[in-house]
Amino acid sequence: MSAAHSRRRVVLHEDDVGMCQGANLAFLELCRLGVCTSGAVMVPCPWFLEMAEATAADGSLDLGVHLTLNSEKRHYKWRPLTAPPPSAGLTDEYGFFHPDVATTRRNGSAEAVEAELRAQIETAYRAGIDVTHLDTHMGAALSPEFCDVYIRLGLEYRLPILLTSTIAAYTPNDNLVGVTEKAHARGVEQARAAGFEIFDAALQTTWARPRSKPAEPAYKAIIESVRDGLTFVCLHFNAPGELELIEPRSAYIRTEEYDLFRSQAFRDWLLAQDLDIIGMKPLREDLRARLAAPVN
């Protein structure tokens, strides 16, 4: 069992829920097994509605919105819900989201970004999801160009957001090349002043692990690296199936991660660690209590 007294609070989170059916299957199974405590759904993606139905039917599931501004796969693509014109800068020549964050940051209109992200949140609510938080696919929404929109939406919907105290502490920052600590700090200061709890670190899936190396040592190292404070672990569980067609070269990263976390031996080890393993619902309730408190 997780240690509720531990000073190391950890959210074990699945990104990219709704991207494909295998992501949904993995999320539901690993939540049931107690080794996934939260997830976030990509509303524009093909398997969003399956996940929405499952979440609406099971109030125990902890699901946020994985705010989506990019479509990075080569042949498996998704589009904005708002059908923005080319002049909005959110889409490529085919009308899909840009494959990389740099292009979105360079070309995207903040007004179009806000309209799209708001549409994704509203669609999640309309589909019956009791949204627990907001986070961001590939980090795009927390980049300096759009971070004020990200914070504003978190405040408007009274939802916690994933934001770390430094950009270096946000290890999925490989898509945010060029973002300086100074630029990132402006958003952190704004979010903290607004009442958001800031994460101390965000760790992620071991994308660079070659197929020849087993997953277990790499993931044990991630868990053992967690320090005191609040840590968000961005995982990408996926059951085998269609993923091998979507990303044939790297599907093993997600499917082996899924296999590891569903194994009894690893689950026993993980749940025996000195960690307070939490979901995002308690953070949402804490935020709402702070926002409702009278100002002295």
The yes-or-no verdict on residue 143 having pLDDT over 70 is yes
Both tokens of 176, joined, read: 């945010």
* Residues in contact with 142: Cβ distance below 8 Å, sequence separation at least 6, in sequence order: 136, 150, 161, 162, 163, 170, 187
The yes-or-no verdict on residue 3 having pLDDT over 80 is no
pLDDT at 1: 43
Q: Do 286 and 139 meet the contact criterion of CB atoms below 8 Å apart?
A: no
Q: What pLDDT digit, counting tens, does each position of 264-273 carry?
A: 999 999 999 9
Q: What percent of the chain is predicted at pLDDT more than 70?
A: 98
pLDDT at 294: 77
CA 257, distance to chain mean position in Å, is: 16
pTM of the model: 0.96
Mean pLDDT within 38-44: 98
Residue 78 is classified by DSSP as: -
Walk me through the domains of the chain, giving residue ranges and CATH numbers: 8-292 (3.20.20.370)
Q: What pLDDT digit, counting tens, does each position of 107-140 carry?
A: 999 999 999 999 999 999 999 999 999 999 999 9
Both tokens of 43, joined, read: 């509303």
pLDDT at 6: 82
Backbone angles phi, psi at 66, to 5 degrees: -90, 85
Reported confidence tier of residue 295, pLDDT bands at 50, 70, 90? low
pLDDT at 293: 82
Q: What pLDDT digit, counting tens, does each position of 152-206 carry?
A: 999 999 999 999 999 999 999 999 999 999 999 999 999 999 999 999 999 999 9
Rounded mean pLDDT of the chain? Answer: 96
What CA–CA distance (Å, rounded) separates 233 from 281? 16
pLDDT at 136: 98
pLDDT at 53: 97
Residue 69 is classified by DSSP as: -
